[in-house]
């Protein structure tokens, strides 16, 4: 994968419900590939790419366009913005972070109570997001309203960079990396006719995928995602879901989906045959859009192929470029197969 493509997607401000700019960037990158595409009422981008053959089964590859963020719910007389989270954001990673607002582009800093103002009981504890505010440098409410309104959304400020040995760090790697994988697939030369979905609002309940499954009714859905890595300080091996640098992650169960054993075996077999580095997700937790495809319409066989991510849903998601390549190779390899026995 071209890391410049990944950076372009990660730098876009696109929380749940505001994926328009992400979608337009993707359309610009695929429109000359010979594919057919449409946008449904939920904002999902649905793509069909004709291959050299036609499968007996309808196969769809999916990723989501949205990222976690914040929504303004009150602006006080001093110009501070009080907010709630959009999607699952750990309050421990919020205070002091720079954010950027989607509509105006104005930046701000998330503030919490100064330590010298905290009581002895408050010190050493992380206060709720509802007690934090965003400072955009406004002198008062009237000045703040020139840039931001109640209901406006912000995300962690873009700051994509490579670091360490083969690592990249950025907001929104979950799941702009999956979008980049699908774009590469669409711009390729697939063996079989294939459907693709770039979905909205995954971070607030997989809303977009719930519409996509009714629009496309796939027999098999392959979800390209990020998943929480366990190789961080203090995590016991028994709770290490997967490791950064360990290859593509194949899930057999998570907090929302029990994956079909035959489909899981199919993904593992494909990885093995193609010499692709892979690992199981070893902790039953979390979830992704697979649940929507498994439960919606007539149901579908689902496969989740993920990249292990450290510090997911923060300003500094971390992926290994080797894992990104392994996921992409596995996605391409799966799409060269008929899925006849799944």
pLDDT of residue 81: 98
For residue 204, count CB atoms less than 10 angstroms from its CB and return exposed for 0-12, middle for 13-18, buried for 19 or more. Answer: middle
Q: For the structural domain made of 70-156, what CATH number should be given?
A: 2.40.30.40
Judge whether 250 and 280 are in contact, CB under 8 Å. Answer: yes
pLDDT of residue 127: 83
H or E element in which residue 85 lies: strand 81-86
- With tokens 């197969």, the residue in question is 337
The answer for residues whose C-beta is within 8 angstroms of residue 171's C-beta and 6 or more apart is 10, 67, 155, 156, 157, 158, 159, 160, 314, 315, 316, 317
Q: How far apart are CA 35 and CA 194, in angstroms?
A: 10
pLDDT of residue 239: 75
Residue 202 designated active-site:
yes
- With tokens 């989740």, the residue in question is 304
Domain 3-67+171-335 annotated CATH 3.40.630.10? yes
The answer for residues whose C-beta is within 8 angstroms of residue 116's C-beta and 6 or more apart is none
pLDDT of residue 211: 95
Q: Which two tokens stand for residue 17?
A: 């419900």
Backbone angles phi, psi at 99, to 5 degrees: -130, 160
Per-domain boundaries in the chain: 3-67+171-335, 70-156
| Shared fold status for 3-67+171-335 and 70-156 | no
pLDDT in tens, the chain (342 residues): 899 999 999 999 999 999 999 999 999 999 999 999 999 999 999 999 999 999 999 999 999 999 999 999 999 999 999 999 999 998 889 999 999 999 999 999 999 766 667 777 777 677 888 889 999 999 999 999 999 999 999 999 999 999 999 999 999 999 999 999 999 999 999 999 999 999 999 999 999 999 999 999 999 999 999 998 877 777 777 777 789 999 999 999 988 899 999 999 999 999 999 999 999 998 888 889 999 999 998 899 999 999 999 999 999 999 999 999 999 999 999 999 999 988
pLDDT of residue 339: 94
228-260: burial string, b at 16+ Cβ within 10 Å, e else: bbbeeeeeeeeebbbbbbbbbbbbbebebbebb
Catalytic residue among 202, 225, 289, 328: 202
pLDDT of residue 113: 66
Give residue 238's region: left, alpha or beta (phi > 0; psi -120 to 50): alpha
Judge whether 309 and 317 are in contact, CB under 8 Å. Answer: yes
pLDDT of residue 153: 97
- With tokens 């079989």, the residue in question is 192
Q: Which two tokens stand for residue 150?
A: 């109640």
Q: Is the peptide bond before 277 cis (omega within 30 degrees of 0)?
A: no
pLDDT of residue 116: 67
The CA-to-CA distance between both ends of the chain, in Å, stands at: 28
pLDDT of residue 121: 73
Sort strands 133-135 and 81-86 into parallel, antiparallel or unpaired.
Answer: antiparallel
The reported pTM is 0.94
């Amino acid at each position: 994968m071209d890391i410049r493509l990944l950076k372009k997607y990660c730098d876009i401000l696109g929380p749940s419900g505001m994926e328009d700019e992400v979608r337009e960037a993707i359309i610009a990158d695929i429109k000359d590939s010979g594919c057919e595409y449409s946008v449904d009422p939920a904002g999902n981008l649905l793509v069909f790419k004709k291959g050299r053959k036609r499968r007996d089964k309808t196969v769809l590859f999916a990723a989501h366009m949205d990222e976690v963020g914040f929504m303004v719910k009150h602006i006080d007389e001093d110009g501070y913005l009080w907010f709630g989270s959009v999607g699952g954001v750990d309050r421990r990673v919020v205070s002091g972070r720079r954010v950027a607002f989607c509509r105006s582009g104005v930046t701000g800093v998330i503030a919490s109570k100064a330590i010298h103002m905290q009581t002895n009981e408050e010190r050493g504890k992380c206060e709720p997001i509802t007690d934090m505010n965003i400072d955009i440098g406004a002198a008062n409410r009237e000045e703040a309203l020139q840039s931001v309104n109640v209901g406006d959304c912000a995300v962690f400020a873009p700051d994509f960079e490579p670091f360490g040995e083969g690592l990249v760090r950025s907001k929104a790697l979950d799941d702009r990396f999956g979008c980049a994988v699908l774009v590469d697939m669409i711009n390729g030369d697939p063996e079989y006719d294939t459907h693709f979905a770039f979905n909205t609002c995954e971070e607030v309940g997989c809303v977009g995928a719930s519409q996509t499954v009714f629009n496309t009714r796939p027999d098999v859905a392959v979800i390209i995602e990020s998943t929480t890595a366990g190789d961080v300080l203090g995590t016991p091996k028994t709770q290490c879901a997967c490791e950064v640098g360990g290859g593509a992650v194949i899930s057999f169960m998570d907090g929302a989906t029990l994956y079909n054993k035959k489909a899981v075996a199919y993904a593992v077999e494909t990885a093995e045959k193609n010499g692709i580095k892979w690992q199981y997700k070893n902790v039953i937790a979390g979830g992704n859009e697979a649940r929507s495809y498994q439960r919606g319409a007539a149901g579908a066989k689902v496969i989740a192929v993920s990249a292990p991510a450290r510090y997911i849903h923060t300003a500094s998601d971390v992926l290994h470029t080797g894992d990104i390549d392994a996921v992409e190779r596995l996605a391409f390899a799966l799409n060269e197969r008929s899925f006849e026995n799944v």
